[in-house]
Amino acid sequence: MKVCVVIVTYGNRYHFLHEVLRNIFVENISKTIIVDNNSHPDSKHLLLSLEQENPDSINVIWHKNNEGSAKGFRIGLEKAIAEKDCDFIWLLDDDNVPQSGALSKLVDFWNRWEGLNKEHNLCLVSYRKDRPLYKKMAQINSSSLDLVIGSRNAVMGFNLFKPLKTLKYYRFLKDNDNQIKLHGDINHGKIPVAPYGGMFFHKSLLNVIGYPNDQFVLYGDDWDFSQRITERNGELIYIFDSIINDVDSPGNIGMKVDKLNLFRIYYSTRNSLHFQKKFSTYKWIFNINAIILSMILTLGNLFGIITQKNTREKMRIKLVAIKDGLKGKLGKKMILDNTNN
């Protein structure tokens, strides 16, 4: 089984990436493809040296600009699918450090799986303890998109017409206890969507679901990409004993309003709304919820309910993101183009 790893890196993160590579080198990896999204010069220098030392096993694709995760993974996947020494693809973030045996657990499960045509309809996903939502969904063992959308016509958790159902959904997301009814086999479970980091599949799957939509730029692009598997009657299965550790904290940015934070607020809000609208059952109800939510945020700003300047600026960006998401205006936002993700 020839496995190719695809990683996207950016910023000054070689210290994370090096730890990831050190751990996957001991696994049975045929090729590692790294997409460098215009990383820091120090990281570029170290990565170039590493590529030159390992020309047969590491291939780096260099971008002059940060193209975002969606385009980064799309380019990496296009390169992987063209590789002769690649049958399977394992996606990792540049801070996803696999525990020993993480890949072999995926391979063993794949070999035992008796489903038909699995090269075209099965994706396994490694366990990440810093992403508890996926474990919760796997324990319920369901591919229902309602687990991530909740009330189908809700907008960012707001649904004027079904507030109780929406509240129940958010309690599920925020409930950190273990009082979840487990299905029979707790070593794995179905999930409706997945993050890039940890996805493992045969490259033939890409002929069915296509590549990440680079118009998302970043945030939500992994859900859009992975959801196409279950949408086409395939299966995403979360494997609890294939463990990868996130060595960079997702909350390390803090609440300071700067370009980086606004960048995240804009794309996460816009893409989430666009994703939710795609699967809403009644577009007119969805649009009403979006309009009312926007009015609430606007009035909050106008009447000084939100008094802190930083918070007001965040709300302004969020309103722009809601407007663009409703109109389906994806792609890069020019006012944020100079920000790194």
Residue 290 Cα distances to 23, 161, 209, angstroms: 45, 12, 29
pLDDT for 258 equals 55
pTM for the whole structure: 0.89
Cα(131)–Cα(248) distance, integer angstroms: 13
**pLDDT tens for the 341 residues of the chain, in order:** 899 999 999 999 999 999 999 999 888 899 999 999 999 999 999 999 999 999 999 999 999 999 999 999 999 999 999 998 899 999 999 999 999 999 999 999 999 999 889 999 999 999 998 888 898 889 889 898 888 887 788 887 788 877 666 656 555 655 544 444 544 457 899 999 999 999 999 999 999 999 999 999 999 999 999 999 999 999 999 999 999 999 986 544 433 445 567 888 899 999 999 999 999 999 999 999 999 988 888 876 666 555 555 677 788 888 899 999 999 999 998 765 444 44
Which among 192, 199, 200 has a CA at the least distance from the CA of 136? 192
pLDDT for 150 equals 75
- Cβ atoms of residues 9 and 34 within 8 Å: yes
pLDDT for 180 equals 47
96 φ/ψ angles, rounded to the nearest 5 degrees: -90, 100
CATH number among 3.20.20.80, 3.30.70.980, 3.10.620.30, 3.90.550.10, domain 3-141+183-246: 3.90.550.10
pLDDT for 162 equals 75
- Amino acid at residue number 112: R
SS3 of residue 72 by DSSP: helix
Residue 263 Cα distances to 60, 84, 316, angstroms: 26, 38, 12
